[in-house]
Amino acid sequence: MNIFGNLGNTLRKNSWPLFLSMLLPTFTISNCVMAAEQVNTSYLALKISIPISALESYAKSGIIDDKIAKYYQYIPPDKLQKLRQILLQRILISPSVAAQFLNSPQGEFFLQRLTRAITNKSHSSQAEITNLRQALIAACAEPEGLNLLNLLRKYPDSNINIDLAATWQISQQLQTIIDDTKKAIALIQQEAKKEAIQQSSVANIPHLSSLANTTITKAKKQTITFFDPQRHRQLVTDIYIPDLPHPAPVIIISHGLGLDSSNFRYLADHLASHGFAVIIPNHPPQNSSLSQYSQQQILASSEFKDRPLDIKYILDQLELNPPFHQHLNLQQVGILGQSFGGYTALALAGAKINFKQLKQDCHPQKLKNSWNMSLLFQCRALELSDHRNNNLRDPRIKAAIAINPISSSIFGKAGLNEIKTPIMIFSSSKDTVAPALSEQILPFSWINHAQKYLVILVGATHFSAIGNSNPQSKQLPLPPEMVGNAWETHHYIKTLSLPFFQGYVSEKPQYLAYLNSAYAQKIAHKSLELNLITSLNDINIKSSHNITYKKQNSPIPYIVKFGFWMLDIGISIIHVLTFSHR
């Protein structure tokens, strides 16, 4: 009897995680529920089985079936309501696109992660991967799209058996990552406050908050197509030219995978209105047809060199085009990139591809145990045929901003130490694609250049910096919770990128007074915390485990965070695929 008494206390304490963990591996994909007849799990001597029909009835009508009622005492009402939302939330994804992704090496890795917590009678992980892949593709074909109810309906087995111990182990691993990130951010917040006190003179700058909204000049946009015959790359490029009596300094914006130039129109308009010529190339999709996809993977290894070479080629062609000489100052060039575009910006600023680091981090066993999904992309660089030519720097680049870049293994400490220009890195605390701690915070500490800035957006995601696309882009719309506070993120990027480029590209030193913690605190809004620091070393970060941070009572315990984590990764990769094969 004692065991059940202790078990009851445990259940009451962990009721919501326990209940959701039974749905976790399927819920993680996106949202779905029924092909199997019931979901089973066990904990110590307690076995729990919930018919999928009962979940469906509750999700659609709110009626609590007798099969669910027995667990009702362990689940707070607000959490039950959240469960209804999870079961019914849908995402529209083409079955063919889902099939191509799930049959790729990246898709296989994704499914392996999801099925760690699923067990079947044969104890075959490959069987569960096959079942889950089949269910996902079939659920995507349903009229209402992919949701948790549809996924369970299409699951090709009568029972879905959840390994609760494995689920909790996974959640603890993710909790460690989250805690380490929060401690590092707490350290950065402390450093930002110290720097702000030292920089109190910034209060004398007039109209501090006006940089994001003021307009100095009008600009015209034109679209030009460049073709590089050597690499067979067609580069449809948007060029924003301000109305100035002299050649304008140039800012290049490099978009991430699955995006196009329209996603950063908001930033191009802003910079152009302040006297910069802005160039946004549309980097070509990796594959020309869906049939090639399962063999070629999501990201061709050649992109690690082709993206920076795209920028170099466009600059070269513009230098050879006399009509542009009166409009563009191609000796004053800055670059800004987001995600894979952030990698591109760092490479052009001097960071060298670090094949030695990649070989260490991409060892199969090490990769198998990593929750840093960006390594799926970074490790592709090992397939480059030439490991000697790892320097992609362009001396025309005078300053670089990297937003949510991947960098930890592709560059490593040695590669990032080669950066030769002023650098600003934006990091989002809720980024599950390029995690803040491993991909931006630690890498920032490795950069030795004196003019470096780290901007932390507490609460932003990997997608917050991305603007709306043109309708013809056919990009997969993302759920609002995955995008986060886009408006504030855009505001911060506009407000900080302008003085950075004015100071280091236009060579107007008076703007450098804006690039400090005090100014960041001045413009920050409560809805999205902003921190800016100019120094950090990895010793500080490693000792940050002694730092305390404010813990918030999350409405969804971290055992369910595994679901959101994998949802972010899965949809972002499918988002890439959908655009690349449009």
Residue 458: give its domain's CATH number.
3.40.50.1820
The answer to whether 343 touches 407, Cβ cutoff 8 Å, is yes
DSSP secondary structure string for all residues of 416-442: HTT--S-EEEEEETT-SSS-HIIIIIH
pLDDT at 320 over 60: yes
82 within a domain of the structure (yes/no): yes
The residue that leads in pLDDT, 97 or 495, is 495
Same structural domain, 198 and 152: no
Same structural domain, 254 and 152: no
Least confident of 319-328, 397-406, 461-470, 573-582: 573-582
Same structural domain, 453 and 484: yes
pLDDT at 236 over 80: yes
Same structural domain, 131 and 275: no
pLDDT at 155 over 80: yes
Q: Write down the H helix ranges in 33-104.
A: 52-61, 66-69, 77-88, 95-102
pLDDT at 66 over 50: yes
Same structural domain, 338 and 417: yes
Same structural domain, 206 and 117: no
- Whole-prediction pTM value? 0.83
172 within a domain of the structure (yes/no): no
Same structural domain, 269 and 158: no
Residues 501, 400: Cα–Cα separation, whole Å: 8
Same structural domain, 227 and 101: no
pLDDT at 144 over 50: yes
pLDDT at 268 over 60: yes
Least confident of 314-328, 365-379, 503-517: 365-379
Say which residue the tokens 């111990």 belong to: 165
**Residues whose CB is less than 8 angstroms from the CB of residue 488 and which lie 6 or more positions away in sequence, other chains included:** 460, 525, 527, 528
Same structural domain, 99 and 237: no
CB atoms within 10 A of CB 145: 17
Check residue 57 and give its pLDDT: 83
Q: What's CA 20's distance to the chain center, in Å? A: 25
pLDDT at 1 over 90: no
Check residue 203 and give its pLDDT: 52
CB atoms within 10 A of CB 142: 17
Strand 46-51 to strand 38-43: parallel, antiparallel, or no bridges (unpaired)? Answer: antiparallel
**Residues whose CB is less than 8 angstroms from the CB of residue 543 and which lie 6 or more positions away in sequence, other chains included:** none
Same structural domain, 152 and 261: no
Check residue 544 and give its pLDDT: 57
Check residue 27 and give its pLDDT: 39
pLDDT at 5 over 80: no
193 within a domain of the structure (yes/no): yes
pLDDT at 11 over 80: no
Quick one: CA dihedral 142, 146, 151, 153, positive or negative? Answer: negative
Rg from Cα positions in the chain: 25
Least confident of 174-178, 353-357, 412-416, 460-464: 174-178
397 within a domain of the structure (yes/no): yes
pLDDT at 36 over 90: no
326 within a domain of the structure (yes/no): yes
The mean pLDDT value for 126-134 works out to 86
pLDDT at 546 over 70: no
Same structural domain, 326 and 238: yes
Check residue 175 and give its pLDDT: 78
Residue 292's domain comprises 185-550
| Total number of domains in the chain | 2
Check residue 559 and give its pLDDT: 42
The answer to whether 410 touches 381, Cβ cutoff 8 Å, is yes
Q: Cα–Cα distances in Å, from 254 out to 258, 334, 472?
A: 12, 11, 19
The residue that leads in pLDDT, 420 or 161, is 420
pLDDT in tens, 326-362: 999 999 999 999 999 999 999 999 999 999 999 999 9
335 within a domain of the structure (yes/no): yes
The answer to whether 409 touches 438, Cβ cutoff 8 Å, is no
563 within a domain of the structure (yes/no): no
pLDDT in tens, 157-210: 777 777 777 777 777 777 788 888 889 999 999 999 988 888 765 555 545 456
The residue that leads in pLDDT, 557 or 130, is 130
The residue that leads in pLDDT, 76 or 562, is 76
The mean pLDDT value for 292-315 works out to 81
For the chain, percent of residues with pLDDT exceeding 70: 78
Q: What would the two tokens of residue 224 be?
A: 């030009």
Same structural domain, 401 and 304: yes
Check residue 352 and give its pLDDT: 97
Check residue 406 and give its pLDDT: 97
Residues 475, 575: Cα–Cα separation, whole Å: 7
pLDDT in tens, 504-527: 999 999 999 999 999 999 899 999
The residue that leads in pLDDT, 222 or 146, is 222
Helix/strand/coil for 555: coil
Angle subtended at Cα 415 by Cα 296 and Cα 540, rounded to the nearest 5 degrees? 115
495 within a domain of the structure (yes/no): yes
pLDDT at 433 over 50: yes
